[in-house]
Amino acid sequence: MVYFKNKMMSIISRFHFTKFFIFLFILLVNMKLNAQDKIFVVTTTSIFKDMIEQLGKNHVLVHSIVPTGSDPHLYEAKPDDVQICKNADLIMINGLHLEVWIEKLIKNSAAKAPVFLLTNHIKPVKTGKYPDPHAWMSASNGIIYAKNIAKAIITINPDLKQVIHSNLEKYIDSLQKLNTYIETEIQKIPESQKILITNHDAFRYYGQCYNLKLIPLMGVSTEGEPRTSDIIKIIEVIRQNRVPAIFVETSINPQQMTQIAADMHISIGGSLFSDSLGESNSSAGTYLGMLKTNTDMIVRALYVNTSNQNTKVKIQAFNEIIFISLFLIFLLITTWVFTIKLVNK
């Protein structure tokens, strides 16, 4: 009886074991088929990765060559990047001299995927030898990026036209609302204090769109080192305009800016996001979140610190008035006492 029972249990166990492997096989096949249905998009930064995912949703599989938190200006392509580009169905790049290494990488990979420029139809801002590549820094330009992304995905798979256009419409609506929010918030800063001092020249489009004066320590690229003349210029701007705060950036060494802030006895207003998003679980983990987080930091530092500074000035003025008043009273009393003594004599 015990033998028969054990035999039955063994058969049942083998049956369940077989069913489990059949289920696992079917699951893996489905996963592979789903992966094959998706467009494999390779792009250069976490910012573009998020935008592509927001528009393509579950129809795209997106890989950013430059990891989150890293600097695309200084990135050096790795052997794995060659194979990734080779396997791509679609490659999207910013251009405007942001990813100087990307053309060589694509060539070395012998990639057959079409390469789309995300900055098509954007009017570049000239800042020197090269145009400023940070065109995504305004929400209005973000709409142009979104349209270019949608066009690229539809080019690869025209069957997705309807769903991509639907996603695009919703995304543009979010960007328009964000643009209005940024305009409203920046207006809170007094005109005399609308001066944004940052590590490098990544906020030119942001400043142009939202009426901020930009004073960067370095140019549009982070490849060089700040010059002494640039440091002196920033110090003079801080002194002349009583700038309450300056800003560092998440993907750049903050040492130089921190030293300037310490020397000038002002605060670091925050660590702004320019060439990369924040971590996925942070407020700057998406493109929309990044622009809003930057705006909130800028307004909080320049508006609140300005208010505090004005309060300090008022308190100082009040104290001076009290001191002068007391001094005058002292003079009057002294004069009165001296006059009485003369009369008594």
Helix, strand, coil abundance in the chain, percent, nearest 5: 60, 15, 25
**What does the pLDDT read at residue 21?**
43
Residue among 239, 217, 219 nearest 228 (CA): 217
R_g over Cα of the chain: 31
pLDDT per 10-residue tile (average), the chain, 345 residues: 52 47 40 65 98 98 97 94 97 96 96 97 88 96 98 98 98 98 97 92 94 87 74 93 94 88 94 95 97 97 63 50 68 72 65
Calculate helix-pair angle for 139-156, 46-56, nearest 10 degrees.
60
User: Quick check: helix, strand or coil at residue 63?
Assistant: strand
Whole-model pTM: value is: 0.78
User: Quick check: helix, strand or coil at residue 172?
Assistant: helix
Dist. CA 195–CA 110, nearest whole Å: 46
Domains parsed from the chain with CATH numbers = 2-184 (3.40.50.1980), 188-308 (3.40.50.1980)
